[in-house]
Amino acid sequence: MPNIRFMHSDAFIRGGQESAGIVTSDGESSQAFKVHKGMGLINHVFSADSLKKLYPSNLGIGHTRYSTSGISELQNCQPFVVETLHGKIAVAHNGELTNAAQLRRKLMRHGVGLSTSSDSELITQLLAFTPPLENDDTADWVARIKNLMKETPTSYSLLIMHKDIIYAVRDPYGNRPLCIGRLIPVGDMNGKGKDNTETEGWVVSSESCSFLSIGAEYYREVLPGEIVKISRHDVQTLDVVRRSEGDPSAFCIFEYVYFARPDSIFEGQMVYSVRKRCGQQLAIEAPVEADLVSTVPESATPAALGYAQKCGLPYVEVLCKNRYVGRTFIQPNMRLRQLGVAKKFGVLSDNFKGKRVVIIDDSIVRGNTISPIIKLLRESGAKEVHIRVASPPIKFPCYMGINIPTKEELIANRPEFHDLANYIGADSVVYLSVEGLVSSVQESIKARRDNSPKTDKSFIGKLGHCTACLTGDYPVELEW
């Protein structure tokens, strides 16, 4: 079952609720969609019974999202389904339209009432509305999708289901990820059938890491601007809509830094490898005399291993995760409030007592997590604590789908940033440079590009990445 973004990191999510939904089709009648959606974690939304009701079906699309304003937002829950003159369509969307307000006004001026504030409904009604309207008997969905792509440049990865077809679409800038996997026939699971061109079906996902767990293997990415038509046994490129002349592609660089799972593959490279290279680059940019390198478990571990290797320092664990932490009901006194972080980690003090420690973190957003960790390490015997951050400071809001704290909350925009080491209690603190990050990301892509044949369509257009949250340089002009 094709699905979009079943995996999500959670650091930028501010206390949000998750919702989830699946729509399936038996592939015969566009009226026969089966829908199940709900608020909360996937495991709460879907029971064995609710999944059974989605069968039998040959295809389907699913979605998970973080809603930020509570339980009454169920109607914002995706996929969004509407009935049109030409049957039902279901739409799952990852991203955020930069000109949504403009498009909403346009639709409402035509007399369409909008029942949610979600871009998904907006996209769905735009697909239903797109003039000139055909007669009752036929609908040219590809023309409608291309029209939509003309009306809004970014950002969106889309799955659109109609009858027995799913259209997978990525915006011309390729801002949000989308890739295709191939379900491996059972007999081929033992490695023999790797060359076999047969498949049991196709899956689409934001991240390739989800393929393994459902018995699929990575097939390829959907390219920026590409419209892919997926039917039971066939994957076919219908068109590639190009971005404005001269614009480079703009895949979100923060997927590499933070959001994606380390085993996911984007643009031909494993996220883990990029993160390790960021650590190595950081060792070049900001070395430090110390006894050991460690990490805040566990997302910064690849960068820490890269840093340690490049520096020739031992990699040592200083904290262990306390997996049993749950909600904290009562905090009867100051002591517990002081020790919030001590509930999340155990301290392996014998490993670093009397030593100079370098801690690699993947990002510092507000600064209120690293500070008590440093204090904890010092109290447990660390002689020095140096912080190295494997990404540049975040300074600007994202209008393309990532939930970033307000400008005021970001530590990089606050006065304390000028004396950050002192503020967080470290002996020193250095961030990776933007150039260092970009080269860690692009280095191996460029190498492969240089070695690829001219006919390789994957490398069409100018290579680029969206670094807007770091530089304020947005890929498209923002409209309000």
Between residue 421 and residue 450, which ones bind its own copies under the rule CB under 8 A? Answer: none
Report how far apart, in Å, the C-alpha atoms of 286 and of each of 126, 292, 302, 428, 430 are: 50, 15, 17, 10, 7
- Name the residue nearer to its own copies (CB basis): 277 or 386: 277
Shortest Cβ distance from residue 406 to its own copies (Å)?
A: 21
- Name the residue nearer to its own copies (CB basis): 92 or 394: 92
Which residue ranges are tagged as binding site? Answer: 252, 299, 361-362, 398, 466, 469
Closest by Cα among 62, 415, 12, 15 to 204? 62
Closest by Cα among 425, 271, 475, 291 to 362? 271
Chain residues 211-230 in contact with its own copies, contact rule CB under 8 A: 212-215
- Asked if residue 47 binds its own copies (CB under 8 A), the reply is yes
Shortest Cβ distance from residue 240 to its own copies (Å)?
A: 27
- Name the residue nearer to its own copies (CB basis): 15 or 326: 326
327 burial level (CB within 10 Å; 0-12, 13-18, 19+): exposed
Identify whether the C-beta of residue 144 lies closer than 8 Å to the C-beta of residue 239: no
**Cα 102 from chain centroid (whole Å):** 26
- Asked if residue 52 binds its own copies (CB under 8 A), the reply is yes
- Asked if residue 104 binds its own copies (CB under 8 A), the reply is yes
Shortest Cβ distance from residue 368 to its own copies (Å)?
A: 17
Q: Which one of residues 2, 5, 93, 121 is an interface residue with its own copies (CB under 8 A)?
A: 121
Shortest Cβ distance from residue 186 to its own copies (Å)?
A: 5
According to DSSP, the β-strands at 384-389 and 428-431 are parallel
Q: Which one of residues 11, 13, 101, 114 is an interface residue with its own copies (CB under 8 A)?
A: 114
Report how far apart, in Å, the C-alpha atoms of 348 and of each of 284, 290, 445 are: 28, 18, 39
Identify whether the C-beta of residue 408 lies closer than 8 Å to the C-beta of residue 449: no
Chain residues 253-272 in contact with its own copies, contact rule CB under 8 A: 261-263, 269-270, 272
Chain residues 269-308 in contact with its own copies, contact rule CB under 8 A: 269-270, 272-273, 298, 301-302, 305
According to DSSP, the β-strands at 356-361 and 384-389 are parallel
Give the three-state DSSP class for 103: helix
What are 425's two structure tokens? 């209690």
Name the residue with tokens 């915006």. Answer: 171
Chain residues 236-255 in contact with its own copies, contact rule CB under 8 A: none
Which residue ranges are tagged as binding site for Mg(2+)? Answer: 299, 361-362
What distance in Å separates the CA atoms of residue 448 and residue 456, rounded to the nearest whole number? 11
Q: Which one of residues 89, 166, 250, 402 is an interface residue with its own copies (CB under 8 A)?
A: 89
Show the CA angle centred on residue 441, arms to residues 439 and 445, nearest 5°. Answer: 95
- Name the residue nearer to its own copies (CB basis): 11 or 460: 11
With contacts defined by CB under 8 A, how many residues of the chain interact with its own copies?
105
Phi-psi region of 169 (alpha: psi -120 to 50; beta: other; left: phi over 0): beta
- Name the residue nearer to its own copies (CB basis): 137 or 477: 137
- Asked if residue 43 binds its own copies (CB under 8 A), the reply is yes
Q: Which one of residues 17, 58, 84, 99 is an interface residue with its own copies (CB under 8 A)?
A: 84
- Name the residue nearer to its own copies (CB basis): 378 or 449: 378
- Name the residue nearer to its own copies (CB basis): 360 or 470: 360
Show the CA angle centred on residue 154, arms to residues 153 and 156, nearest 5°. Answer: 125
- Name the residue nearer to its own copies (CB basis): 50 or 99: 50
Identify whether the C-beta of residue 67 lies closer than 8 Å to the C-beta of residue 39: yes
Chain residues 306-365 in contact with its own copies, contact rule CB under 8 A: 309, 314-317, 320, 322, 324-327, 329-330, 332-336, 338-339, 342-343, 346-351
- Name the residue nearer to its own copies (CB basis): 298 or 479: 298
Shortest Cβ distance from residue 109 to its own copies (Å)?
A: 6
Question: 156: which strand partners?
Answer: 95
Chain residues 129-188 in contact with its own copies, contact rule CB under 8 A: 129-131, 133, 136, 183-184, 186
- Asked if residue 390 binds its own copies (CB under 8 A), the reply is no
Closest by Cα among 376, 377, 361, 476 to 411? 361
Half-sphere exposure of 250 (CA within 13 A, CB side): 24
Q: Which one of residues 25, 27, 37, 389 is an interface residue with its own copies (CB under 8 A)?
A: 37
What are 155's two structure tokens? 């950002």
